[in-house]
């Protein structure tokens, strides 16, 4: 894939990415730094949509969730993503970036519902669209929500932002000789049993020929380089 700017991009942020060095919750300095990076790519003319996980908030109540019904726990997790989405929207507002939150769950007193044509219009107007509450269904992860929303809005790529700067041949923390894949095909990743996204999300991206780039959100300027199609992290392609 040649280096080029992705005009419409879906950014998948893990909830843990908002924690910084905290045990759970939202680290203010971390979210402010992220908004700076988001503002930078929006200023480039990129149409950016974001899906955020809720693990950072849900982790705080995890001990109490042990033995809980899976569907109930998943709905709690969806509500955590709404909280994260509102926090990011507020931080972007203070940075001067116009953002809208759309929720897959119907809570109109707090955020507007997900409506695809309206989301597309917001993107075309240069607004950041934050998709909250996953797919709105239990048993589906926010990875699947990112793949689904990415396909629905016609994104050119899904950027999966994590704490690791790409996909490695082995765990770099355990094996110093592990090397990073610069790019790898979907079929190769499946053959090597690399855990990039959950199986449903990964299959959807593959079927829709929607590439995935895995990169570290903690590296300064990494988001801009990933959006620009530079060799940042690992590109998973058809």
Residue ranges for the binding site for UMP? 54, 74, 135-142
Task: Please enumerate, by residue number, every residue annotated as part of a binding site.
Answer: 12-15, 54-55, 59, 74, 135-142, 162, 168, 171
- Residues 6+ away with beta carbon under 8 Å from 3: 228, 229, 230
- Joined together, the tokens standing for residue 226 give 């990933």
* 225: CB partners within 8 A, 6+ apart: 215, 231, 232
Residues at the binding site for ATP are 12-15, 55, 59, 162, 168, 171
Whether the Cβ atoms of residue 18 and residue 30 lie closer than 8 Å to each other:
yes
Distance CA 23, CA 31 (A): 15
Residue 205, exposed/middle/buried by CB under 10 A (0-12, 13-18, 19+)? buried
């Amino acid at each position: 894939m040649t280096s080029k700017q992705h005009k419409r991009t879906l950014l998948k942020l893990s909830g843990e990415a908002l924690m910084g060095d905290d045990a759970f919750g939202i680290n203010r300095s971390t979210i402010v730094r992220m908004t700076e990076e988001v503002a930078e790519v929006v200023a480039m003319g990129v149409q950016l949509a974001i899906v955020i996980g809720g693990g950072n908030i849900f982790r705080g109540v995890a001990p109490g969730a042990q033995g809980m019904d899976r569907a109930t726990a998943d709905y709690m997790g969806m509500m955590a993503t709404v909280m994260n989405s509102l926090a990011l929207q507020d931080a972007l507002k203070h940075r001067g970036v116009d953002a809208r939150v759309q929720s897959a769950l119907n809570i109109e007193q707090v955020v507007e519902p997900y409506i695809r044509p309206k989301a597309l219009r917001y993107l075309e107007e240069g607004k950041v669209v934050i998709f909250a509450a996953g797919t709105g269904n239990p048993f589906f992860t926010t990875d699947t929500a990112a793949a689904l929303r990415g396909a629905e809005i016609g994104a050119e790529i899904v950027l999966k932002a994590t704490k690791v700067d790409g996909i490695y041949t082995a765990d770099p923390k355990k094996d110093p000789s592990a090397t990073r894949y610069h790019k790898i095909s979907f079929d190769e990743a499946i053959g090597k049993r690399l855990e990039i996204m959950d199986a449903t999300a990964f299959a959807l991206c593959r079927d829709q020929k929607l590439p995935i780039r895995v990169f570290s959100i903690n590296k300064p300027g990494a988001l801009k380089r990933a959006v620009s199609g530079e060799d940042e992290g690992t590109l998973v392609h058809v």
